[in-house]
């Protein structure tokens, strides 16, 4: 158990190194710097000012030097200072991490609460209209672009029905959370419905369910004591992966709903070539993924006695 955690920690350090390097390399390959992005913004910035900014931020230093400087800071837990706001990246992130985290939790909650029961009942009533409807819904949910789904939801529930606010964070209440969370949760919900259906069908077909039937128990007991947990074990990985990749997946949706999270910071910072802010946002997304995966591993230790880490 301790070994798992240590291994995970090592893995995390390695991943961070790779990701940070990749971002540095990418930004040195794609055209433009923070300074040139100011000009592209049609702000009238004179050449001298640009040069001064570049010099101040050390943008003219060679890549290895900039990389070394950033890594040295990172090793001490310093995420650097944003080019654009001149504020420490860590400060900029702190409020946004919470906003994104809330969104991700609400979205996975929606996906699990709808997807799991749908998949379960579809499997139990295999071949019925409910099964057909659920699976059609699942395929649509997976193929509709989230961006478009978000626009439709916004149009219906805010512009037409006036039930919910169009966008923004509000004062941090639930009202503003609902639409972006549903938009973000649609694809994971559809995927979970399918995975759950497959898992329940697979479990129903297994020999131990036949044994359970031969013992003479009610369907209710069969489902609760023998089927549900075994099927859930098969679905848990998918839930974890969906949850873990949610911060990354929410980038576009945060932008659409003007959600002040890590994702919208990432998009804005990429446009500005604000490398420290980009690095910070991506690190949060990656670390969240690793953290959730570790939690899923630990959860398996609890639910599945066959798994024992050495």
| Chain residues that interact with other proteins, rule: CB under 8 A | 206-208, 210-218, 221, 225-226, 229-230, 233, 303-306
Closest to other proteins by CB, 124 vs 233, is 233
Minimum CB separation of residue 96 from other proteins in Å reads: 40
Closest CB 120 distance from other proteins, rounded Å: 17
Number of other CB atoms surrounding residue 171 within 10 Å: 7
Q: Residue 281 CB, nearest distance to other proteins (Å)?
A: 40
Q: Shortest CA distance to 137 belongs to which of 223, 197, 180?
A: 197
Q: Please say whether the dihedral angle defined by the alpha carbons of residues 134, 130, 154 and 116, taken in this order, is positive or negative.
A: negative
Q: What is the DSSP string of 39-73?
A: HHTT----HHHHHHHHHHHTTTS-HHHHHHHHHHH
Nearer to other proteins among residue 3 and residue 214 (C-beta): 214
Residue closer to other proteins (CB basis): 48 or 207:
207
Buried b (16+ CB within 10 A) or exposed e, 248-258: bbbbbbbbbbe
In the complex, the smallest distance separating the C-beta of residue 4 from other proteins, rounded to whole angstroms, is 19
Q: Which is nearer to other proteins, 76 or 218 (CB)?
A: 218
Of residues 8 and 126, the one with the C-beta less far from other proteins:
126
By beta-carbon proximity to other proteins, the closer residue of 171 and 218 is 218
CB of 225 to other proteins, least distance (A): 8
Element (H, E) at 172: none
Q: What is the DSSP string of 129-170?
A: HHHHHHHHHHHHHHHS-HHHHHHHHIIIIIIIS--S-SSS-T
Least separation in angstroms between CB 127 and other proteins? 10
Residues facing 88 on adjacent strands: 81
Give least dist CB 216 to other proteins, A.
Answer: 4
Structure-token pair, residue 31: 């055209």
Residue 81 three-state SS: strand
Rounded CA gap, 271 and 282, in Å? 14
Q: Are 108 and 289 in contact (CB under 8 A)?
A: no
Nearest to other proteins of 1, 55 (CB atom): 1
């Amino acid at each position: 158990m301790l070994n798992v955690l240590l291994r995970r920690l090592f893995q995390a350090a390695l991943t961070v190194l790779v990701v940070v390097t990749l971002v540095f390399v990418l930004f040195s390959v794609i055209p433009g710097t923070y300074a040139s992005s100011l000009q592209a913004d049609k702000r009238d910035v004179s050449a001298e000012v640009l040069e001064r900014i570049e010099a101040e931020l050390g943008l003219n230093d060679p890549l290895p030097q900039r990389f070394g400087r950033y890594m040295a800071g990172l090793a001490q837990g310093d995420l650097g200072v944003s080019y654009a706001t001149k504020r420490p990246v860590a400060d900029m992130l702190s409020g946004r991490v919470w906003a994104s985290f809330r969104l991700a939790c609400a979205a996975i909650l929606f996906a699990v609460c709808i997807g799991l029961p749908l998949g379960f009942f579809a499997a139990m009533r295999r071949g019925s209209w409910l099964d057909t409807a659920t699976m059609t819904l699942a395929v649509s949910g997976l193929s509709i672009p989230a961006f478009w789904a978000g626009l439709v939801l916004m149009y219906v529930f805010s512009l037409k029905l006036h039930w919910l606010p169009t966008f923004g964070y509000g004062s941090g209440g639930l009202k503003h959370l609902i639409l972006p969370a549903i938009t973000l949760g649609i694809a994971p919900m559809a995927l979970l419905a399918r995975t759950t259906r497959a898992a329940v069908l697979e479990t129903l077909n297994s020999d131990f369910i036949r044994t359970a039937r031969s013992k003479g128990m009610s369907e209710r007991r069969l489902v609760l004591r023998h089927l549900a947990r075994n099927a859930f074990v098969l679905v848990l990985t998918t839930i974890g992966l969906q949850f873990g990749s949610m911060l990354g997946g929410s980038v576009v949706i945060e932008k659409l709903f003007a959600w002040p999270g890590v994702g919208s910071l990432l998009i804005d910072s990429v446009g500005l070539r604000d490398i420290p802010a980009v690095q910070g946002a991506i690190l949060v997304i990656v670390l969240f993924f690793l953290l959730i995966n570790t939690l899923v591993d630990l959860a398996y230790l609890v639910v599945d006695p066959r798994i024992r880490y050495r």
